[in-house]
Chain A
Amino acid sequence: MKVGLFIPCYIDQFYPQVGIATLELLEKLGCQVVYPTGQTCCGQPMANSGCERDAVAAYHHFVQLFHAFDHVVTPSGSCAYHVRNHYDIVEQTEEVKKIRDNVLDLSEFLLDILKVESLDSRFPYKVGLHQSCHGLRGLRLGQGSERALEKSSKLDTLLRMVDGIELVEPSRPDECCGFGGTFAINEPAISVKMGKDRIADHENKGVEVVTAGDMSCLMHLEGIIRRQKKKIKVKHIAEILNGTQP
């Protein structure tokens, strides 16, 4: 199985360890992973700011790099969601259609394609799962608390395969962290307040490490944690599944 690895721009530049963990994890699970060099960004930052026309060149670039793969895997529910949902403004060629079908968040790939049932990793910490919105409500990686459907979460399922982990649910199980892309700088006051509230919720439950399927949420939370010199840590789910210690 030929797997293309897409590492979103901010992970590439600021959190290479998340990309490395994703790659190592996929290789450990027997995948032949190719990271096409020259990749940049899915185009979401422009599009969410209302400038999707300015993102079209990035869309084409993305399609051109990745369309040949059976699966394109990315450690970001948000970017996968963007490609699947918002690449609708470019001509729907076979390549575009194929890629919109084949881009998967890491958790989807592990559970739906590889059908992983166990993992060889250990993470003996109290972990709180932050349900990143685009993964949860966009890709339906689980059931949000709004809908009257049976509770489920792909991320939770995967974390439960990790040895020694103690999972704790915050009192508001899936409230947004307040990142929201450019929202974080357009409305900094409310963005930070939302982040503080999420952190406090996890802290109150004794969480040592907050994890999520999207590093962007964690970048925002970590920014607040470091400014306020708090002890609580953040780790992308790929790092925990790969057994990276804090």
Chain B
Amino acid sequence: MKEHAQKAAEFIRNESRTDWHDEALWFVRSKRDKASHSIGEWEQLRELASQVKDNVLSNLDGYLEQFEANARRNGVQVHWAADAEEHNRIVYGILEKHQARNLVKSKSMLTEECHLNEYLIKRGIEVVDTDLGERIIQLKEEPPSHIVMPAIHLKKEEVGELFHEKLHTEKGASDPKYLTEAARQHLRQKFLAAGAAITGVNFAIAETGGVVVCTNEGNADMGVHLAPVQIHCMGIEKILPKAEHLGIFTRLLARSATGQPITIYTSHYHRPKAGGEMHIVIVDNGRTAQLGRAAFRNSLKCIRCGACMNTCPIYRRSGGHSYGYTIPGPIGSILTPGIDLKKYSGLPFASTLCGSCSDVCPVKIDIHEQLYRWRQIIAEEGHLPTDKRQSMKWAGRVLSKPAWYNVIGKLTRWAMMRLPRPFLYNRLNEWGKDRELPEPPKESFGEWYRKREKS
């Protein structure tokens, strides 16, 4: 329960680094503001996207079947995976069949979610994440800290050091251009040697059976075009009914994610290339369970833009790793309780309910409302610490009985006025560690008012 608080406190101990992290993400949020506010119909686009997704979620079964049929007609092999384990098994099976020992990957949070890399590496497959940020954290053996900028927690000097160690770049070099070029050269060999390429999927179009991947580095294309086998892994919620809906989402996605009008590449894959094979793996992994929870189903509208992370004042000051899940930040905090309520019971409390996330969200997910709702469920299922649970029971009693409330209020103020400082400020007082308590007035408003009424 206290895990996020502890990790956040550790993160903040290095205050200048916290400030740097906060500023870096605030910069992205500001770019997003500029890009989105510069088109007049932004709020209508959000509403439209939200409605399209409502339709998708209400008719998901039908759209998925339509998608599958159309993809098969295009010569694509479609697989269904109930959970992460099955997804990994399917991918491994495809690789086995083709004796592919080297795999390149691009743009897939889903494979992160399924821990595909570990699964394959254990079975002797070389897995290379080809997007720069992903490659950095893969070399560093760390999980991503952000869904769009997975290495945002690292400074360029640290990347320089890492590359010096792993890719033998010059010691002390930290020029991003130089480092990017080094990564590119190193990845080129990997691309050429790859027996298969995996990409994630931003959108899957039911009407055409095609999938769409939005990238800035072009690695999805590079992998898919060079390797004989291409595999696209998608969650069931990635469906859009028609190709004509795509424009709404590509406009929203890039602006929300990085403040760009559009991602550099918007790649459409419809059928295998001549002599090649194309597979699509459709994954549930807890999504239908979430779909069945009325208050939380619209969390499945998420297009993984990351904007809610960039705007979250807590994420910016605690870093993605403090959440302990592949998808951190506000959206992670409403997805995780559905996966393991007990384990992630602290995350819905890692928020002030300020609501900024819901207002940046391009598909209008009511994130902060869902955080509030998860809190209720966590308490009801008994995952609050006992002292907290008890104190709330008492607070509830006192605050519904005016006589008790008045007496306790008076006593509290009296104690705050009279008690020596160590009684008030000690390790039990979390408020008072770095803050003063309010200066207690002699009389409450209620007392003042009663006097005024008498005179």
In the bound complex, residues from chain A placing their C-beta under 8 Å from that of B192 are none
Q: Does B317 lie within 8 Å of A50, measured CB to CB?
A: no
In the bound complex, residues from chain B placing their C-beta under 8 Å from that of A175 are 313, 356
What is the CA–CA distance of A192 and B409 in the complex, to the nearest angstrom? 25
Check if A243 is an interface residue, CB within 8 A of chain B: no
In the bound complex, residues from chain A placing their C-beta under 8 Å from that of B349 are 50, 182-183, 186-187
What is the CA–CA distance of A47 and B369 in the complex, to the nearest angstrom? 12
Known: A48-B372, A50-B384. A188 touches B399 (CB 8 A): no
Shortest C-beta distance, A39 to chain B (Å), equals: 7
Shortest C-beta distance, B37 to chain A (Å), equals: 4
In the bound complex, residues from chain A placing their C-beta under 8 Å from that of B146 are none
Known: A46-B392, A57-B400. A16 touches B435 (CB 8 A): no
In the bound complex, residues from chain B placing their C-beta under 8 Å from that of A191 are 352
Q: Which size class do A's interface residues fall under?
A: 35 or more
Check if A133 is an interface residue, CB within 8 A of chain B: yes
What is the CA–CA distance of A44 and B274 in the complex, to the nearest angstrom? 63
Question: Which residues of chain A in 46-73 are interfacial with respect to chain B, using CB atoms and an 8 Å cutoff?
Answer: 46-58, 60-61
Q: Mark A28-51, 1 if CB is under 8 A from B, else 0.
A: 000000010111110101111111
**A-contacting 9-mer, from B3-11, B54-62, B151-159, B208-216:** B3-11
Check if A117 is an interface residue, CB within 8 A of chain B: no
Selected from A43, A176, A224, the residue in CB contact (under 8 A) with B352 is A176
What is the CA–CA distance of A13 and B415 in the complex, to the nearest angstrom? 13
Question: Which residues of chain B in 24-56 are interfacial with respect to chain A, using CB atoms and an 8 Å cutoff?
Answer: 26, 33, 36-37, 39-40, 42-43
In the bound complex, residues from chain A placing their C-beta under 8 Å from that of B446 are 7, 12, 37, 39
Check if B402 is an interface residue, CB within 8 A of chain A: yes
Q: Does A144 lie within 8 Å of B356, measured CB to CB?
A: yes
Selected from B40, B405, B433, B449, the residue in CB contact (under 8 A) with A35 is B449
Q: Does B400 lie within 8 Å of A20, measured CB to CB?
A: no
Shortest C-beta distance, A224 to chain B (Å), equals: 5
Shortest C-beta distance, B425 to chain A (Å), equals: 10
Q: Does B399 lie within 8 Å of A40, measured CB to CB?
A: yes
Q: Does A220 lie within 8 Å of B435, measured CB to CB?
A: yes
Check if A148 is an interface residue, CB within 8 A of chain B: yes
Check if A116 is an interface residue, CB within 8 A of chain B: no
Known: A37-B449, A51-B393, A194-B313. A12 touches B356 (CB 8 A): no
Selected from A51, A133, A174, the residue in CB contact (under 8 A) with B379 is A51
Check if A9 is an interface residue, CB within 8 A of chain B: yes
In the bound complex, residues from chain A placing their C-beta under 8 Å from that of B436 are 222-224, 226-227
Q: Which residue of B lies closest to A195 (CB)?
A: B435
Check if B99 is an interface residue, CB within 8 A of chain A: no
Q: Does A45 lie within 8 Å of B395, measured CB to CB?
A: yes
Known: A54-B395, A61-B400, A190-B317. A223 touches B449 (CB 8 A): no
Selected from A7, A55, A223, the residue in CB contact (under 8 A) with B438 is A223
Q: Which residue of B lies closest to A22 (CB)?
A: B445
23 residue pairs A–B, Cβ–Cβ below 8 Å? A7-B446, A9-B405, A14-B413, A15-B441, A18-B445, A40-B401, A41-B405, A49-B384, A50-B348, A50-B349, A54-B396, A55-B399, A58-B399, A137-B355, A144-B355, A144-B359, A184-B431, A190-B317, A193-B12, A197-B22, A222-B438, A224-B434, A227-B436
